Structure 1
Amino acid sequence: MQLKLRQFRPRIGPREYRVVRPWHPLRHTALADPAGYGWLIGDHDGLSRLAALFSFAAYSRHTIVHVPLRDGVSMDGGYEQYLENCGGRVDLVLVHHSLGLRPTAWPDLRRRLVQGVPLTVRTDERRTARDAAAWNRQCEHAETREWLRPVSHARTLFLTGSRAPFAAACAAFEYAAGWGPRQAGVVHGDHVLTTSITSQFLPDPDLRRPEVDISFKAHPPYVDFRRPHG
């Protein structure tokens, strides 16, 4: 998939960072803070582009992927209030652990995201699918150390990890984007719970552990909604 991004090169002290954002906002996609209940709800475009952004993040060890999700279009049908009850909207940041970015440093870095320049990249779906399958085979082994680590800070969910779990999360979003639009009720604006990326998170026995479930929801006008063929 081809992604059009906006690239920034902010500097803090002697260090320069590379940060990218989607060129066009994901207007009909929102994420509730996992500190309450992590719920991501989006349309086909939003879920598809999130899949591509996770794929890009998987192979971009020196790049911070910032996905603004707080200021999208208000969800109809009572879903906006549900997002608020879950913990309120947050943005999303994807970053490799090797970069050493601390969530507490993000507000200062975010303020420096000005004068971005256009960047177009293309993701490699076959490579991503191969790495996702490899992670799914190994994740049940006790020695597995590749996980996404979720941290909420400054109205942002940080997912820190490495190539394989980012690729596995990409596969989850691809599934949600493909399977969600085919379900009953979506033509009337109902949401359908499709999958989750919680299984890619570092295992935690705490019942209050962070989780992120993914739902598909078409956006109005629903008369224009068409299920995919095939």
Structure 2
Amino acid sequence: MRLNLTEFRPRTGPREHRVVQPRHTLRHTSLTAPEPIGLLLGDHDGLNRLAGLFSFAAYSRHTVVHVPLRDGIPPDEGWGERVDLVLAHHSYGLRPSKWPELRRALKAGAPVTVRTDEARTQRDANALLRRRTRADHRDELRHATHARTFFLFGSRDTFAETAVGFAYAAGWGPRQKRVAEGHSALMTGIWLKDGLGGGHPYEVLVSFKPCPPYAHFKRPGD
């Protein structure tokens, strides 16, 4: 997949960062943080581009991916306050409390175009699924919410697995029943490391929802 991004090189103290954003807003995609369950609603374009962004994040250990989802059109269903999305590798060391300072420094970005390798992404996602059967498996997405932003911290394989889930939702979401009437269809979920105290596992539900006007949306094959 080809992704059109804007690249920023801000500095905080002595450190230079690399932050990228989608060049164009994901207009019909929204996200609410898990409290304890979050919801991501997206049309085909939004879910497909998120698949590409997660794939790019998987192989960009020294880059922060910022998706400003609050800039899109508010959805007509769901719950909770909308938040932006940030993806970063565990090893990057990004602290959510420092994000507002870094976000304010995102000025004078430059356009860049990158390509993702779907076959490689699928192989790494499959490798993670095989490792999950082992008792010593610890490779999981971690999360935090701060300053109206939902942070996901992961590894190459956890981001790759999530990318595959978004690609599935983008491809098969339009085929679900009643989506042509404007209804959303639950397609997958982002499983997260449990919060302290037990209870329901933290999770983000991922649903396909066509963009209005729904009279113009036709399921494939109709």
Give the partner amino acid of 1:211: E
Q: CA deviation at 1:221?
A: 1.3
Structure-2 residue corresponding to 1:185:
178
CA distance in 2, matches of 1:28, 1:36: 23
Please give the TM-score of this superposition, normalised by the length of structure 2: 0.95
The CA deviation string for residues 158-216 of structure 1, in whole angstroms up to 9 with x for no partner, is: 10011001000001101111111101110011011111111xx2255722442101000
Q: CA deviation at 1:23?
A: 0.3
Give the partner amino acid of 2:131: Q
Structure-2 residue corresponding to 1:103:
96
Give the partner amino acid of 2:149: T
The CA deviation string for residues 140-171 of structure 1, in whole angstroms up to 9 with x for no partner, is: 32212221101111111110011001000001
State the SS of the aligned residue for 1:88.
coil
Question: 1:148-167 to 2 correspondence within 5 Å?
Answer: 148-167=141-160
Q: CA deviation at 1:139?
A: 1.5
Question: 1:207-222 to 2 correspondence within 5 Å?
Answer: 207-222=199-214
Contact 1:96 1:160 in 2 (8 A): yes
Please give the TM-score of this superposition, normalised by the length of structure 1: 0.92
State the SS of the aligned residue for 2:145.
strand
Unaligned runs of 5+ in 2: none
Contact 2:194 2:202 in 1 (8 A): no
Contact 1:57 1:95 in 2 (8 A): yes
Structure-1 residue corresponding to 2:215:
223
Structure-2 change in CA distance of 1:21 and 1:185 (3 Å):
same
Give the partner amino acid of 2:26: L
CA distance in 2, matches of 1:118, 1:57: 17
Structure-1 residue corresponding to 2:22:
22
Give the partner amino acid of 1:221: P
CA distance in 2, matches of 1:136, 1:89: 30
CA distance in 2, matches of 1:206, 1:139: 20
Structure-2 residue corresponding to 1:140:
133
The CA deviation string for residues 68-114 of structure 1, in whole angstroms up to 9 with x for no partner, is: 111211223xx1xx33xxx2100100000111111111010001111
% identical aligned pairs = 59
State the SS of the aligned residue for 2:157.
helix
Contact 1:91 1:155 in 2 (8 A): yes
CA distance in 1, matches of 2:138, 2:156: 12
CA distance in 2, matches of 1:25, 1:192: 22
CA distance in 2, matches of 1:74, 1:163: 31
* Cα RMSD for the two superposed structures: 1.5
Structure-2 residue corresponding to 1:12:
12
Unaligned runs of 5+ in 1: none
Give the partner amino acid of 1:222: Y
CA distance in 1, matches of 2:145, 2:74: 22
Structure-1 residue corresponding to 2:63:
63
State the SS of the aligned residue for 2:127.
helix
Structure-1 residue corresponding to 2:169:
176
Q: CA deviation at 1:228?
A: 3.4
From 188, 193, 202, the equivalent of 1:202 is 193
Contact 1:35 1:152 in 2 (8 A): no
Contact 1:150 1:210 in 2 (8 A): no
Number of aligned positions between the proteins: 221
After TM superposition, the runs of 4+ consecutive aligned structure 1 residues lying more than 6 A away are none
CA distance in 2, matches of 1:159, 1:142: 24
